[in-house]
Amino acid sequence: MVFNSLSFAIFLPIVLIGYYLLPFKGQNRFLLLASLVFYAWWDWRFLFLLGLTIVVDYYASHAIFRAETRKQKLMWLRVSLASNILVLSVFKYCNFFISSFQGVLTAIGFHVHPVTLQLALPIGISFYTFMSMSYVIDVYWGKFTPAEGFFDFALFVSYFPHLVAGPILRANQLLPQIMQPRRVTKEQIRDGLTLMLVGYARKVLIADMLAQYVDEAFRNIPGMTSMDLVVRLWLCAIQIYGDFAGYSDIARGVSKLFGIELHLNFATPLFSQNITEFWRRWHITLSSWLRDYVYIPLGGSREGEVKTYRNNMLTMLVSGLWHGANWTYIAFGAVHGIALMLHKAWMKITGNPVPKEFGTRPWTWSAPLRMFLTFNVFAFSLVLFRSPNFATAWQYLSRIATLTPGIHLGTTLFVVPFVLIGFSLDLAQYTGVGQRMIAGMGPVRRSIAFGALFALVLIAGSDNSLPFVYFQF
Amino acid sequence: MKEPFIIEHGSEFRSLTLSALGIGVVAYALIAVLVFSVPHLPLANKRTFYGLLRAQMAVDLGETLPGTGKGMVLFLGSSVVERGLSETIADSVFHSEQLPLETMNAGTGGFSAEANLPMFRAMLEDGLQPKYVVYGVSIQELNGASTVHAFFETKDTSSVKLKPKTLWNILRYGPTALAPLMSGDHFHQYIFAANNAFRDVPNLNLVNRIMFGENMPPRDSAYVFNPTYWNDLREILTLCKARGIHVALYNAPLRKRAPDEVDIPYEHRGESYQHIFALAKKEQIPLWNFDQAGRFAYSEFQDNYHLAPLGAHRISAMLADSIARWRNGSLSQDGIETLE
């Protein structure tokens, strides 16, 4: 089931009514059942994979907690990690490994025809396995006491708002909210509805609207001028952002209606003034996951400059591979790894340490220029993200390099109002004006403002709904 | 057992329900206002919008005409009719001859007989009862090159309906009816359709040409007679006769191609005409032939088969005159079996 579907529009009110009518214990069971229905709506056969992850990690975490020696703890950790990595390897990466191995053999003169698996990629597999893995690792590190109740843990992994496309939550962020009786406030309801509407607007009004122009560019590279291709890369950046941030907003908004807070996943990343800041604002829950479970265990920045750069690069390669089983995604990660290293080196040369937090930064004369540069680094890296193979990516970039004059304005001009809507939403969020405005509105004015936005979403989404891009990861 | 959540959170639940209802009611009220504000907006999806705009315009006019004591002369056909017939000129002829008739041009670009059939059926089902139907036939009419199925997304065009603007239909189809306004690909089609629909025989301006490019009809070598289309045209005639509507055909003029112009199957015009003639004879209905050498000057054409406003104004007067003479019984059919 996807958030932008009629089935979800019927599903959510039913779940909300059921949830409000039940006492606390029943609520968790009911939410678990609803989450399984939500997942099974796409393909019920993959429930067993979700179930496998839940069962293995629940018992492994308890075994780790009860184990008396470090060796025993490590053994159970390995069981859990092996199980999760095996599931990911078989269902997401198997064909990639086989074809890469075949490529190596062909390169050294051996021609083989290996068998590949015709398996559908289970949606959300990268999200829920990462959540479950981090839980077990946290228990192993002694950061967290495992959840007593099996159903509480099952709900932590499968809670439907985050299940298929994140945010990737940690046990300490979500489990306490699941295990304790909850309260819902009117502010949460107001903010939840706001987030849902903003999310739908980002998805339907911006991402889906821009998708057709981006798709057209990648379908017909020779028919585009250099400027067309550059403009469509900018649109691609806004599309991917609108799609994924839109999903995260809806997920957070829906969850607030149940009184459960999900972690912020996007903090206006397109206003970032450098690439380090970008990755602290973009897909925050994945970035912080990689920081805590890949970068820091590799040594982080504690073992000298060269190893810091190496760790940065390895982390970004893992990030690329997380996005998809394709060398283009790994190259996407590599480009960002290089960009992060260059930024770190530049900060060192100029004598400015990279700040720990960025927040809303004061505007300087150079801020727009730095934002534009950072935005372009991201947009151009999306050639790799969006191309099915290196040949297409190379064709795209080569065509830009021909500097073919002209631009097909045509219907592309039509996207300007939608880009402006997206920009306004982000600017309102970045400056905090949006939040203040909504908080200051009475119920009537809010209904009118939100109703107008909802009308636009209904009209735009009535004949143009596309699945969320990040479902494939 | 602990109290249900709703007992403690009754006020919050009410707030949630009222907020959601408020947003939904405001959204749908805005959509309803928009649907009623856009003239002749059909409750269709964005692909069928183009043709159904004309159908809805005809139905809307059909509802107001009885009050004026006038009957409707409904023109059907492709862009040859859409851009080749001036309602103003035809009505001025009817007025000068003191005939209580009013013209509705429902010709739609890209729609030949099998696209006009479901549109016409939808109009009739919605209660339209024109006095006369005149179908303009072009060289493209029977050659199987229509894009109708792409427009209607179904081969079973009998399912294409005009939906009346009831409150329920507006709630159900209002967003899809407005969807062309929100999509670049369809917004320009909407503007193009509206531009053509609300202007008298438009001359294609530069913007139109940029938006839609040029027509690329099949050349002589690709021309094929398609009996399915012939049968669809015949079905339109049958529908008219069954409802007591007077129906006639006219054969639209062509300009002989020039070497530097877009090709048309000019050499097949005689073959096309013979099929039309056979149909008119079989159904015993009038067929007026305007594809005669020298009848229209080169400058009266926009291209090889679309008339420029000058030519469209002249053919409109001729057609109105033919209808007037047909009405008083002094004209039935040209009697020319083949083109010269």
Closest CB to B22 among A257, A451, A463: A451
Dist CA A214 CA A470 (whole Å): 16
Question: What confidence tens digit (pLDDT) does each residue in A183-193 have?
Answer: 888 888 888 99
Higher pLDDT, B134 or B221: B134
Q: How confident is the model at residue B316 (pLDDT cuts 50, 70, 90)?
A: very high
Is a pLDDT exceeding 80 seen at residue A19? yes
Q: Provide the CA B308 distance to its chain's centre, in angstroms.
A: 19
Q: How confident is the model at residue A357 (pLDDT cuts 50, 70, 90)?
A: low
**Closest by alpha carbon to B75, among B142, B136, B148, B140?**
B136
User: Are the beta carbons of A458 and B184 separated by less than 8 Å?
Assistant: no
Amino acid at B94: F
Amino acid at B95: H
Catalytic (active-site) positions of A: 323
Report the mean per-residue pLDDT for chain B.
Answer: 83
What is the mean pLDDT of the segment spanning A363-369? Answer: 82
Dist CA A72 CA A59 (whole Å): 14
H helix or E strand, kind and range, residue B287: strand B287-289
Is a pLDDT exceeding 60 seen at residue A423? yes
Whether chain B has a CB inside 8 Å of the CB on A23: the answer is yes
Dist CA B327 CA B319 (whole Å): 12
Q: Enumerate residues 6+ apart whose C-beta is below 8 A from A424.
A: none
Distance from CA of B273 to the nearest CA of A (A): 39
Distance from CA of B312 to the nearest CA of A (A): 29
- What was the pLDDT predicted at A307? 86
Buried (b) or exposed (e) across A57-88, using 16+ Cβ within 10 A?
bbbbbbbbeebeeeeebeebbebbbebbeebb
Q: How many CA atoms lie within 13 A of B134 on its CB side?
A: 32
- What was the pLDDT predicted at B154? 63
Whether chain A has a CB inside 8 Å of the CB on B266: the answer is no
Question: What confidence tens digit (pLDDT) does each residue in A430-473 have?
Answer: 778 888 888 888 888 888 999 999 998 888 876 655 655 555 55
Question: Which pTM value belongs to this model?
Answer: 0.78
Distance from CA of A64 to the nearest CA of B (A): 34
Taking residue A382's Cβ as centre, other Cβ atoms within 10 Å add up to 19
What is the predicted ipTM? 0.75
User: Are the beta carbons of B23 and A459 separated by less than 8 Å?
Assistant: no
- What was the pLDDT predicted at A165? 75
- What was the pLDDT predicted at B278? 92
Q: How confident is the model at residue A395 (pLDDT cuts 50, 70, 90)?
A: very high
Residues from chain A contacting residue B12 (CB–CB below 8 Å) = 184-186, 189
What is the mean pLDDT of the segment spanning B123-137? Answer: 93
- What was the pLDDT predicted at A473? 52
Higher pLDDT, B275 or A163: B275
User: Is the Cα torsion angle B51, B245, B322, B285 positive or negative in sign?
Assistant: positive
- What was the pLDDT predicted at A126? 80
CB B37 within 8 A of CB A278: no
Higher pLDDT, A115 or B316: B316
CB A135 within 8 A of CB A144: yes
- Chain B window 43-72: which residues touch A at a Cβ cutoff of 8 Å? 45-46
Across the strands, what pairs with B301? B307
- What was the pLDDT predicted at B207? 59
What is the mean pLDDT of the segment spanning B57-61? Answer: 90
What is the mean pLDDT of the segment spanning A299-328? Answer: 85
Is a pLDDT exceeding 70 seen at residue A257? yes
Higher pLDDT, A312 or B200: A312
Percent of chain B topping pLDDT 90: 33
Question: What is the strand order of the sheet B101-105 is part of?
Answer: B101-105, B71-77, B132-137, B246-251, B287-289
Of these ranges, A10-14, A162-166, A304-308, A426-430, the one predicted with the greatest mean pLDDT is A10-14
Higher pLDDT, B293 or A111: B293
Q: How confident is the model at residue B93 (pLDDT cuts 50, 70, 90)?
A: very high
- What was the pLDDT predicted at B155? 64
- What was the pLDDT predicted at B260? 59
What is the mean pLDDT of the segment spanning B208-219? Answer: 58
DSSP notation for A205-244: IIIHHHHHHHHHHHH-GGGS-HHHHHHHHHHHHHHHHHHH
- What was the pLDDT predicted at B197? 73
Q: Enter the tokens of residue A455.
A: 């009308």
Is a pLDDT exceeding 90 seen at residue A143? no
**Closest by alpha carbon to A76, among A89, A57, A90?**
A57
**Best interface-test mutation with A: which of B1, B3, B5 has the largest number of A CBs within 10 A?**
B5
H helix or E strand, kind and range, residue B151: helix B148-152
CB B331 within 8 A of CB B100: no
Closest CB to B176 among A16, A447, A463: A463
Q: How confident is the model at residue A95 (pLDDT cuts 50, 70, 90)?
A: low
